[in-house]
Amino acid sequence: MVRILLNAFIFFLPAITHGQAAEELVLKVKEKFDKVNDYEAKGKMKMNVTFIKAPVATVKVYYKKPDKLKINNESGISLVPKGSINISIANIIANAAECDIIDAGKEEKTQWRVVKLLPRNEAADIVLSTLYIDEQLLLIRKTRTTTKENGTYELEMTYGKYAEYGLADKVIFSFNTKDYKLPKGVTFDYDDGTKKEESKDKLKNKKGKVEISYSSYAINKGVPDSIFK
């Protein structure tokens, strides 16, 4: 349904003429990213989800072309939002060839180019990806991805010394969370009197955030496939 509506919407949009330019832009970004065959990055992962309290995790993130990504928690339990692996920029870009690329103009405030990717394969989980691209630096600043299974995800990137490879220093990953509840018979909770304030926003979709701040990348040093198993 969403797909049909979007198609119709896009079909009648004059912006479709810019499609060609957008495709080129995505290609340029991809080229930049293609310089990276693999990397191993160190960073800190912070989670902000209403029903989770977890320590800041020291993580290692591994990437290998075209779309392998793995987040390893070095210091503890790594809770990784479902599907997040597939939502990485690398993945989106790698799949760009199988998408219709549509230029949706510029975001007013930032002047970032807004590009929409519509997968041609109807069976794909991703319904729509929106990229916000800095045309000067050829960097993806933001993405919003809508999936069939897991709702909408957002990635926000801040770049620093690894910008030439298109790799961010900081990534904020936002996602939808569902309610969490375990039967009391399982947990035998101690009622310490802490009242949950969720009652008012119970019906709203809740957002969770994962923030990874990278301290270093080791680029193209080779990453064995075994890590991704």
Partner 1 sequence: MLQLLNIELYKIFKRPRTFIAFGVIAAIIFLIQIALKFGGEEYVGMMMSGLNSTFDAPADQVMNGYFVCFIILNLLLIHVPILVALVAGDMISGEANMGTLRLLVSKPVSRTQLLLVKFTAACIYTFLLLIWVAVLSLFLSMLLFGTNQLFVARGEEVNIISASDILWRYVAAFAFATVGLITVAALSFMLSAFADNSIGPIVATVCVIIVFTILTQMQIPFYDNTIKPYLFTTHMLGWKGFFYVKGEEGVTIERSIGNLPAIIRSGLILTGYAALFLFTAIWYFKRKNILS
Q: How many residues bind partner 1 (CB under 8 A)?
A: 45
Identify which range of 10-18, 50-58, 132-140, 157-165 contacts partner 1 by CB under 8 A: 50-58
Identify which range of 10-18, 26-34, 157-165, 187-195 contacts partner 1 by CB under 8 A: 187-195
Binding residues for partner 1 restricted to 138-167, rule: CB under 8 A: 150
Q: How far is the CB of 136 from partner 1 (least distance, A)?
A: 33
Q: Is 80 in the site for partner 1 (CB under 8 A)?
A: yes
Q: Is 54 in the site for partner 1 (CB under 8 A)?
A: yes
Identify which range of 28-36, 95-103, 189-197, 218-226 contacts partner 1 by CB under 8 A: 189-197
Contact of 67 with 90, CB cutoff 8 Å: yes
Residue among 43, 144, 41 nearest 89 (CA): 144
Nearer to partner 1, 14 or 183 (CB): 183
Nearer to partner 1, 76 or 222 (CB): 76
CA dihedral 29, 35, 38, 41 (to 10 degrees): -70
Amino acid (1-letter code) at residue 147: T
CA gap 174, 169 in Å, rounded = 17
Q: Which of 187, 200, 202, 229 binds partner 1 (CB under 8 A)?
A: 187
* Residue matched to tokens 């992962």: 45
Amino acid (1-letter code) at residue 94: A
Amino acid (1-letter code) at residue 48: N
Q: Is 46 in the site for partner 1 (CB under 8 A)?
A: yes
Largest Cα span, the chain: 62
* Residue matched to tokens 């000067």: 136
